[in-house]
Amino acid sequence: MSILAHKNTKLLVQGITGNEGLFHSQQMFQYKTNIVAGVSPGKGGEWVLDGKIPVFDSVRSAVEMTGADASVIFVPARYCADAIYEAVDADIPLVVCITEGVPVQDMMRVKRFLAHKKTRIIGPNCPGILTPGETKIGIIPGNITFPGNVGVISRSGTLTYEVLYALKQADRGVSTCIGIGGDPIKGVGFVELLEMFEADAQTDQIVMIGEIGGNEEEAAAEYISRYVTKPVVAFIAGVTAPPGKRMGHAGAIIEGKEGTAQEKIKTLEASGIRVAQHPEQIPSLLA
């Protein structure tokens, strides 16, 4: 069994009638993702994807009618917090927020709201989840990998695709790939997913793609050294990034020696984790 999402996951799409939501819903549908509903306030009763997917006015009504147990969000940034609240209030176990540019203050309120909830949030500003051959929730291209035993966790969207393709070229398949996003305030992080991959019988090795800023990689290194028995290979983006300058994601900013790629690499290697110098080196380190 893959982690988080599989072929039986019943997905609803919040924002399905928007340009992005509709386009990526079509891509997910073509991948055989089990999309059961869309949500777009004011457009309940409509059907999309050639009349195959019903649209509801609210998440709760969609869940009651279809039994959806996962949601992917493609709504504008200013509406994302409300979309997450609505999904959590409908008791959806897994919510994946693709939208970028969600205000940090909004996500801080969301994090407080989630403190005593069972819903897991992936993102925002993330590519989502891909379980090769089973389901695709988000925007990760389905043709750049195939089923296998390598679990992938990434803070970087573009590097996620590059690493998946490098693994494919080396004939290495993936159990599940999760892009957690690079924002400073987000849902599930490295440690929780490492715990899940460690418990997953179909994952034998783990790839962790980090980047400058924050201390998630350092926390992951400590967790791996204590609790993870499976081989882990890491790559840290941003070796040449100048201190004090934001690079790409809102979370990719370093101050002094804190959050630098060099410090992260040093911490990871001290914990016995092999660190690739470039993404194409990852398959050989796994071997």
- On whether both 49 and 174 belong to a single domain, the answer is no
- Residue 139 Cα distances to 7, 121, 127, 142, 269, angstroms: 17, 16, 5, 9, 32
99 falls within a domain: yes
Number of domains in the chain: 2
Q: Annotated active-site positions, please?
A: 249
Q: At what angle do helices 261-270 and 216-227 cross, to 10 degrees?
A: 10
C-alpha span between 148 and 175 (Å, rounded): 5
- On whether both 159 and 213 belong to a single domain, the answer is yes
Q: Are residues 45 and 17 in contact, defined by beta-carbon separation less than 8 angstroms? A: no
- On whether both 62 and 93 belong to a single domain, the answer is yes
Domain housing 19: 11-122
- On whether both 151 and 280 belong to a single domain, the answer is yes
pLDDT of residue 241: 54
CATH of the domain at 263: 3.40.50.261
* Torsional class of 226: left (φ above 0), alpha (ψ -120 to 50), beta (otherwise): alpha
6 falls within a domain: no
Phi, psi of 112 (to 5 degrees): -65, -40
- On whether both 272 and 158 belong to a single domain, the answer is yes
Q: Which distant-in-sequence residues (6+ apart) come within 8 Å of 10 by Cβ? A: 34, 36, 66, 67, 68, 69, 70
CATH of the domain at 100: 3.40.50.720
260 falls within a domain: yes
130 falls within a domain: no
| The pairing of beta strand 135-138 with beta strand 120-122 | unpaired
Q: Can you give the pLDDT of all 287 residues of the chain as single tens digits?
A: 579 999 999 999 999 999 999 999 999 999 999 999 999 999 999 999 999 999 999 999 999 999 999 999 999 999 999 999 999 999 999 999 999 999 999 999 999 999 889 999 999 999 999 999 999 999 999 999 999 999 999 998 889 999 999 999 999 999 999 999 999 999 999 999 999 999 999 999 999 999 998 899 999 999 999 999 999 999 999 775 555 555 555 455 555 556 789 999 999 999 999 999 999 999 999 98
- On whether both 116 and 150 belong to a single domain, the answer is no
Which of 64, 95, 122 is the last residue before a domain boundary?
122
- On whether both 221 and 83 belong to a single domain, the answer is no
Tokens standing for residue 208:
């962790």
Q: What is the pTM of this model?
A: 0.92
Which of 80, 95, 122 is the last residue before a domain boundary?
122
- On whether both 99 and 198 belong to a single domain, the answer is no
2 falls within a domain: no
- Residue 185 Cα distances to 51, 189, 251, angstroms: 37, 10, 8
pLDDT of residue 255: 53
* CA 285 distance to own-chain centroid: 23
167 falls within a domain: yes
- On whether both 98 and 15 belong to a single domain, the answer is yes
pLDDT of residue 250: 47
Which pLDDT tens digit goes with each residue over 142-175? 999 999 999 999 998 889 999 999 999 999 999 9
C-alpha span between 214 and 206 (Å, rounded): 21
- On whether both 90 and 175 belong to a single domain, the answer is no
107 falls within a domain: yes
244 falls within a domain: yes
CB atoms within 10 A of CB 227: 11
- On whether both 197 and 261 belong to a single domain, the answer is yes
- On whether both 117 and 88 belong to a single domain, the answer is yes
